[in-house]
Amino acid sequence: MDPFSAYALIALISVIGFVIGAVLFIVSLVLTAVKKKKFAWGIIGGLALIIAGAVFFVYGVINTASVGIEIAQNFMPTEFTPAEGSRVVSGTLKVDGYEVTMPCTVNDLQLIGYKTDYYYFGHGIDMWLLNDKNQEQHFPAYLDNSYGYENQDRVSGEDQVAAIIIKCDSGVTFEFNDLKFYMNQDELIKRYGTPAYKIDDSYNGNYLYYLGENDTIYRFRFDSNKYLVSIMYGTSDYMKYEMNWLYHG
């Protein structure tokens, strides 16, 4: 469960505990007054639930708000200014052994064996194939923003692809110099130097951006343990736009 949901759940449970405690406390007071007999366990238990509920409610709300603010900040436009000391990373990305350069077309990706239904959804289309083990491999291909497509629109094979993402659980193999999934973040920085831009995000994971050749940008995403779990590669214009909003996981 992600931090935002966990803290929200704590706040919800604390409200339930507070209500139960309040009911128990009131009922115990009423029974004490009516029957002239002290229901001490009910009064004490009710007070304990009220106090605990209030404390954990405040804790849950504060932390939910804190995580929420962090998430919101990632959706605020940011100027992409390469960090001092960052450099262009050379090399060509290969998908299942085939070189892929950005920009390309939908047809270009089909030529390396992937299929699509041409339906636009969430800024792009899905590409997939069944390998020789009858296992599905898939990755999203994001289209140039100038097309103005809406969800469920049909795209063309000639449309320009501006970026792709390869994830560790997609079944797709990639080659880019000596990088591998689950490489440690510090090891990647040691090999490639200072990233052009970095986003530290405890909710979505850490993102390192490196400038590529021919006006492209690579985005490496790391999980909470700082292991590489996805690589996104696209044109400079699209990746700067994507970085501002973190649309893609």
- 176 and 63 within one domain: no
User: Would 78 be classed as within a structural domain?
Assistant: no
DSSP alpha helix (H) spans, 193-245: 236-245
pTM of the model: 0.68
Give tens-digit pLDDT for 139-179: 999 998 788 888 889 999 999 999 999 999 999 989 999 89
Q: Distance between CA atoms of 113 and 131, rounded to whole angstroms?
A: 10
User: Would 80 be classed as within a structural domain?
Assistant: no
User: Would 142 be classed as within a structural domain?
Assistant: yes
User: Would 11 be classed as within a structural domain?
Assistant: yes
Instruction: Tell which wins on pLDDT, 45 or 88.
Output: 88
- 143 and 39 within one domain: no
User: What is the pLDDT, as a whole number, of residue 228?
Assistant: 95
Give tens-digit pLDDT for 189-225: 999 999 999 887 766 678 999 999 999 999 999 998 8
User: Would 82 be classed as within a structural domain?
Assistant: no
Q: How many domains does the chain have?
A: 2
Mean pLDDT of all residues in 42-63: 79
User: What is the pLDDT, as a whole number, of residue 88?
Assistant: 92
Please report how many Cα atoms fall inside a 13 Å half-sphere around the Cα of residue 43, on the Cβ side.
9
For residue 42, count other CB atoms closer than 10 A to its CB: 19
- 231 and 190 within one domain: yes
User: Would 63 be classed as within a structural domain?
Assistant: yes
What residues make up the domain containing 67? 3-73
Mean pLDDT of all residues in 7-19: 82
Q: Distance between CA atoms of 202 and 220, rounded to whole angstroms?
A: 15
Collect all residues with Cβ–Cβ distance below 8 Å to 70 and sequence separation of at least 6. Answer: 201, 202, 203
Q: Distance between CA atoms of 227 and 208, rounded to whole angstroms?
A: 12
Instruction: Tell which wins on pLDDT, 215 or 70.
Output: 215
Q: Distance between CA atoms of 247 and 78, rounded to whole angstroms?
A: 14
Mean pLDDT of all residues in 76-80: 55
